[in-house]
Amino acid sequence: MELELLQTIWFGLVTILFIGYAVMDGFDLGVGMLHLFARSEEEKRLTMNSVGPFWDGNEVWLIAAGGAVFAAFAPVYAAIWSGFYVALILLLVALLARAVAFDYRAKVERARWRQFFDWCFGAGSGLIALLLGVAFGNILHGIPIDARGEFAGTFWTLLNPYAVLIGILTVLLFTLHGALWLALKCEGDLQARMILTAHRMWIVVTAVYMIASVITVVTNRGLFTDVDGNMFWWISLLAVIFAMAFIPVLIVKRRLLLSFIASSIMIAGMIGVAAASLFPMLVPSTIDPAQSLTAFAHSSSRYTLMVIFWIALIGMPIAILWKVILYVSFRGKTVLTKDSY
């Protein structure tokens, strides 16, 4: 296979892995944030157990996405993982807090103990969504990449208004996604409240997404110069528009599974639009566009891309098959048992 084709394929695969992560872990992060608003111990356990069999598998998509960047675009990995170091440490702390909450919360029956892990779960989830959103905003907007291909800013460079806006959008988006999941997995009063939350969050998400889009178009004209002939860009954009429009209709008709699928498509579309706008850039440089990190100039060798392409070709179907089995086995409403979290 030609080098350029492989580089394009890997740009696409990295995008797909990040989409997989956002769609999958997105809902359990949202559930984590909504967990803080659960009204009783039973509700808390229900929210937590609704994602119990799925959350850790969902997080693996992030590892897979990071691993794919490492293997396929090593210089990009080096620049980002070093440049975003402090943010990534915070992200890891949040991921740890959340993971430990699942394991430890139910093991001791004291109220203080459980409260503490409720916060680990809820605040951890919120922080993860926020940090990833901010990181994504920075990638979209571009960061100071110098002539050596290294990040030339600080942690505070990353907290610019645009990136923070994308961070907030991500938090809202995942809350909507999580509310739809809970509506699907729960019954009674909790379900009714989640449906209401989903309605409200849909309005907020739609409004913020539109504002963010306008700001992106105005401040980042460069992103949209080559998109006219890009089929993926148009498909993604249409997916966002249609999915976004159908979510409230589906909720009203109580087609909860379909509304969750629509919200998944919407998230996938949002990342798809962003990735297609960036292509072939992986990280635009705000110092000099010529110093941007791109799929064509900053990839691994042809042989490496070929090897990992085969690994992905074998590995991804297995991972997807396993996911399907998992979600089918744990379909239906969440039930609490003695061994639940």
Q: Which stretch binds another protein (CB under 8 A): 121-129, 143-151, 182-190, 277-285?
A: 143-151
x/- letters, 225..264, toward another protein (CB under 8 A): ----------------------------------------
Residues, the chain: 341
In 3-state terms, what secondary structure has residue 294? strand
Q: Which of 86, 192, 203, 249 binds another protein (CB under 8 A)?
A: 86
> Near another protein by CB under 8 A, which window of 25-33, 76-84, 282-290, 323-331?
76-84
Torsion sign (Cα): 130, 135, 137, 138: positive
Binding region for another protein (CB under 8 A) out of 5-13, 101-109, 188-196, 284-292: 101-109
C-alpha dist (Å) from residue 308 to 73, 80, 163, 282, 321: 12, 21, 32, 19, 19
Quick check: 148 binds another protein (CB under 8 A)? Answer: yes
Our finding on whether 61 is near another protein (CB under 8 A) is: no
- Region for 333 from its dihedrals, namely left if φ exceeds 0, alpha if ψ lies in -120 to 50, beta otherwise: beta
Which residue of 39, 40, 42, 93 would you call a contact of another protein, by CB under 8 A? Answer: 93
Give me the least distance between CB of 182 and another protein, in Å please: 28
Name the minimum Å distance from CB 292 to another protein. 17
Give the list of residues 6+ apart from residue 294 with CB closer than 8 angstroms, or none: 280, 281, 282
Structure tokens at 254: 């109580």
Applying CB under 8 A, among 85, 224, 296, 327 the residue interacting with another protein is 85
Token representation of residue 179: 């509310």
Verify binding: residue 327, another protein, rule CB under 8 A.
no
CA torsion sign for 155, 161, 162, 168 is positive
Nearest CB to another protein, comparing residues 221 and 338? 338
Sole residue written with tokens 């990449």:
145
Answer yes or no: are the C-beta atoms of 340 and 49 closer than 8 Å. yes
Q: How far is the CB of 225 from another protein (least distance, A)?
A: 29
- Helix 85-104 with 74-83: angle, nearest 10 deg: 80
Q: Does 301 bind another protein (CB under 8 A)?
A: yes
Residues within the interface to another protein (CB under 8 A): 79, 82-83, 85-86, 89, 92-93, 96, 100, 104, 107-108, 148, 150-152, 300-301, 303-304, 307
